[in-house]
Amino acid sequence: MILSLQFIMLWLILHDDMIILLVMLKRYSSTKNPKRKKIILVIAILLVIVLVVTGTYLWTQRKPSTLTTSDGEVVELTPATSEEKAESDQRKQDIVASQEATQSQASPNNPSQVTIVSANKTGVSAYVNGVFEDDGTCTATAVQGASRIIATSTGFQNVSYTQCAPLQWPQPLSNGTWVITVAYSSPTANATLSQNIEVN
């Protein structure tokens, strides 16, 4: 856009100069001085060449407003809107939160570790390795943007680990990517695990 405006301005300036030169050429052509006539003609030709070269350069330097990817998708090369920037910032925050919480945080005295068996739009199934007890608290948190949904249940002994009773969301999760965090807490153990899941 800026280049096209520059091109138009340059063309107008050179166009006015050309008109002045043509008027001068016409006026001096009536005189008998061929040297003066040749000088004006050479200047006019040089101005036309400068105009053509400048216009061609500006035309070739303009940037396309769209780009086609190798799979045929057309991408617009316009600056991001404020909504797109806010959405991108929220995604970055979700990724950072997920990476910070991905490592299971166990107490040094009891190296327990949460395992998420499944997570979907209705709930989460999880258990805790490294601890074999009843009555611990399992808490599942689902985060997507500003939405935060929490479900809790009680842990119980199951074979050689602590099983969390089914963690059911109070409302179904909407479609999209959610950060699911399951935390286990008891007097003897604490552990947390986060995962990104895609809800369809």
Q: Phi/psi zone of residue 135: left (φ > 0), alpha (ψ -120 to 50 degrees), beta? A: left
Count of C-beta atoms within a 10 Å radius of residue 77: 9
Distance CA 78, CA 87 (A): 16
Q: Which is more confident, 84 or 150?
A: 150
Please check whether residues 149 and 57 belong to one and the same domain. Answer: no
Helices (H) and strands (E) in the chain, counts: 3, 10
- 135 shares its domain with 193: yes
Q: What pLDDT is stored for residue 107 in this prediction?
A: 46
Domain boundary among 44, 65, 86: 65
What confidence category does residue 90 fall into, taking pLDDT thresholds of 50, 70 and 90?
confident
The percentage of the chain sitting over the pLDDT mark of 70, rounded to a whole number, equals: 74
Question: Taking 80 as the threshold, does the pLDDT of residue 160 lie above it?
Answer: yes
Q: What is the mean pLDDT of the chain?
A: 80
Sequence-distant (≥ 6) Cβ neighbours of residue 79 within 8 angstroms = none
pLDDT at 162 over 90: yes
On whether residue 146 sits in a domain, the answer given is yes
CA neighbor of 197 nearest in space, from 124, 128, 147, 127: 124
Whether 3 shows a pLDDT value over 70: the answer reads no
We report the CATH number of the domain holding residue 173 as 2.60.40.10
Is 0.75 topped by the overall pTM? Answer: no
74-76/190-199 β-pairing: unpaired
Q: Of the segments 20-29, 44-53, 123-132, which one has the largest average pLDDT value?
A: 123-132
Question: pLDDT tens for residues 7-41?
Answer: 566 656 666 666 666 666 666 655 567 777 777 77
* pLDDT for the residue numbered 171: 94
**Per the domain annotation, does 81 fall within a domain?**
no
Give the total number of structural domains in the chain: 2
Q: pLDDT category, 103, cuts 50, 70, 90?
A: very low
Q: Does residue 134 lie in a domain region?
A: yes
| Share of residues in the chain with pLDDT > 90 (%) | 36
First to last CA, the chain: 42
- Both 189 and 143 in one domain: the answer is yes
Evaluate whether residue 7 is within a structural domain: yes
> Does residue 78 lie within any of the structural domains?
no
- The predicted model gives 95-118 an average pLDDT of 68
Q: Is residue 89 part of a domain?
A: no
What is residue 184's predicted lDDT score, i.e. its pLDDT? 95
Q: Final residue of a domain: which of 45, 65, 85? A: 65
In which domain, by residue range, is 56 found? 2-65
Looking at the structure, tell me whether residues 107 and 180 fall in a common domain: yes
Q: Are residues 32 and 119 in the same domain?
A: no
Between strands 161-164 and 147-158, the pairing is antiparallel
Number of Cβ within a 10 Å radius of residue 13: 11
Nearest to 190 by CA among 168, 162, 170, 167: 162
To 10 degrees, what angle do helices 2-29 and 34-61 make?
A: 170
Q: Is the pLDDT of residue 88 over 90?
A: no
